[in-house]
Amino acid sequence: MRQPLVAGNWKLNGSLSSISELISGIREQLLTVNNAELAVCPPYIYLSHVQELLEGVNISLGAQDCSDQESGAYTGEVAAAMIKEFGCKYIIIGHSERRHIYGDTNDTVATKFAHVVKNGLTPILCVGETLEEREEGHTEVVISKQINAVLDLFGVEAFRKAVIAYEPVWAIGTGQVATPAQAQEVHEEIRLTLDAQNKDIAANIRILYGGSMKPENAKELLQQPDIDGGLIGGAALKADDFIGIALAAN
Ligand code: PGA
């Protein structure tokens, strides 16, 4: 049985005080969530602050990205091993904003994936097509290239501890959510790709949906057989909405 994961990607948002408020709002309602695992991914600089706030609380911590390097002269970078020191369990990699704004290629993402796994953390590998790619009928090809970049280099075993997030680029932050059927189709395709190489890994890996997920649309999405949770942007910044989505997984 795959436990649903609802992970908040806070992106470039928050301050010491707003984060404290958000975490206490989530904590107040945490006991109502009895099925999903919750995780929050703050900006790097707040990891230590959030780690303290979450002490003894059943919420996992994650980072939003990591370097493709281990250490050295790479100004501005943060390594997976450093992130590990702050109690993180997850690192999001290959988010479409990293791919499209900061130029992460499939190869860069695969290297980052390897660093995360090597450090004993769990990558949340984001994949997804642009609107243009979907309209041209290239969704399947784009997603399989993104997955195969990791599969070809590191093999299916690298996915044993991983999470995948399907995030159609056109749905991120736009309010235009994928229909449950559209999302399920891609999720199933991803699981089948892994299934061709290892049935056990395919059956156990959690595949999250991301892109304008809200309490109002979460239930129908989470009811799909291959949707195992959500990667939540905007709605993760409000305690009620974040918990609302987690409750939809109950
Ligand atoms: P959104 O973002 O929920 O605001 O659409 C999702 C994401 O980018 O992970």
Domain locations in the chain as residue ranges: 5-207+221-226+239-248
Q: What whole-number distance in Å separates Cα of residue 156 and Cα of residue 148?
A: 10
Other C-beta atoms closer than 10 Å to the C-beta of 164 total: 27
Separation of alpha carbons 150 and 192, rounded Å: 16
Amino acid identity for residue 24 in this structure = S
Helix (H) or strand (E) holding 231: strand 229-232
**Could you give phi then psi for residue 209, rounded to 5 degrees?**
-100, 140
245-249 CB contacts, 8 Å cutoff, 24+ apart = 245/6, 245/213, 245/214, 245/215, 245/218, 246/6, 246/33, 246/36, 246/38, 247/32, 247/33, 247/215, 248/215, 248/218, 248/219, 248/222, 249/4, 249/6, 249/33, 249/35, 249/36, 249/218, 249/222
Write out residues in the chain with pLDDT < 70, as ranges. Answer: none
Its CATH architecture, for the domain 5-207+221-226+239-248, is Alpha-Beta Barrel (3.20)
Distance of CA 97 to the CA centre of its chain: 13
For residue 36, the model assigns a pLDDT of 96
Reported as a single tens digit per residue, the pLDDT across 161-182 is: 999 999 999 999 999 999 999 9
**Residue 114 and residue 158 in contact, taking contact as beta carbons nearer than 8 Å:** yes
**Residue 114 contacts residue 82 (beta carbons within 8 Å):** no
- Cα separations in angstroms, 195 against 117, 200, 203: 20, 8, 7
Q: Residue 215: what pLDDT? A: 97
Question: What pLDDT is attached to residue 250?
Answer: 83
- Closest-CA residue, ligand 1 atom 6, reads 233
| Overall pTM surpassing 0.85 (yes/no) | yes
pLDDT for the residue 213: 97
In the chain, which ranges are continuous DSSP H helix?
Answer: 16-29, 47-53, 80-84, 96-101, 106-118, 131-135, 139-154, 180-195, 199-204, 215-222, 239-248
Ligand 1 neighbourhood includes 201 CB (under 6 angstroms) = no
Instruction: Determine the pLDDT at residue 93.
Output: 98
Measure 73 CA to ligand 1 centroid, in angstroms: 32
Q: Assess whether the C-beta atom of 212 lies below 6 angstroms from ligand 1.
A: yes
pLDDT value, residue 118? 96
pLDDT value of position 139: 97
| CA 11 to centroid of ligand 1, rounded, Å | 9
Query: Which of these, 88, 3, 4, lies nearest to 41 by C-alpha position?
Result: 88
Index of the ligand 1 atom closest to the CA of residue 96 = 8
Cα–Cα distance list, 153 to 146, 147, 159, 216 (Å)? 12, 10, 12, 39
Does residue 42 contact residue 10 with C-beta atoms inside 8 Å?
yes
Q: Can you give the pLDDT at residue 181?
A: 97
Three-class secondary structure of residue 161 per DSSP: coil
pLDDT digits (tens, 9 = 90+) for 62-96: 999 999 999 999 999 999 999 999 999 999 999 99
Q: 142 CB under 6 A from ligand 1?
A: no
In angstroms, the Cα distances linking 241 to 52, 148, 192, 215 are 23, 34, 32, 6
Active site residues: 95, 167
Cβ(173) to ligand 1 under 6 A? Answer: yes
Rounded Cα gap, residues 70 and 141, in angstroms = 31
The pLDDT value recorded for residue 1 is: 84
Which atom of ligand 1 lies at the shortest distance from residue 236's CA? 3
Take residue 151 and report the two structure tokens written for it.
Answer: 């599969």
User: Which residue's CA lies nearest to atom 7 of ligand 1?
Assistant: 233
